[in-house]
Amino acid sequence: MAKHISNMDQLQKALQPIMTGMIDELAKRACVFIDYNSMDDYVSATGYQVAIWANTGLHGGLSVNHKPRVWDSTMDETINNGSLLQLAVQYLHSQGISVKS
């Protein structure tokens, strides 16, 4: 059944539960966390520094042939390539919200 929305307060009230559900659903697929506080086994480097090195393509502060960037690569694979947006649109469609691309 279509809802008639005539002001921003009504729009917010109608969208709030849907958007909360969408964020909860997407968070299950797009969460990245680096617990640098638990990386305390390094000599002369903090866990934070090791995480920075990992995102700049270094391994233990040393240059290596294969240079993954743990944070940037994840962003490319989820947000920058549009897949997260596609998941959001699919979720909104499942809730009966028409979204034009």
Q: Does residue 64 sit in the same domain as residue 86?
A: no
Residue 20 belongs to some domain of the structure: no
Residue 11 belongs to some domain of the structure: no
The pTM of this model reads: 0.54
Residue 59 belongs to some domain of the structure: yes
Are 34 and 51 in contact by the 8 Å Cβ rule? The answer is: yes
The tally of domains found in the chain comes to 2
Predicted pLDDT of residue 82:
84
Predicted pLDDT of residue 54:
80
**Which of 6-10, 41-45, 59-63, 89-93 is the least confident region?**
59-63
Q: Does residue 59 sit in the same domain as residue 48?
A: yes
Mean pLDDT of 2-20: 84
Residue 80 belongs to some domain of the structure: yes
Question: What residues form DSSP beta bridges with 58?
Answer: 63
Predicted pLDDT of residue 32:
67
Cα 82 to Cα 8: distance, rounded to the nearest angstrom:
28
Q: Does residue 63 sit in the same domain as residue 80?
A: no
Are 53 and 61 in contact by the 8 Å Cβ rule? The answer is: yes
Q: Does residue 75 sit in the same domain as residue 93?
A: yes
Mean pLDDT of 17-36: 83
Q: Which domain holds residue 76?
A: 70-101
At 30-87, the pLDDT tens digits run: 766 788 888 878 788 888 888 888 888 777 666 667 677 777 877 787 778 888 888 8
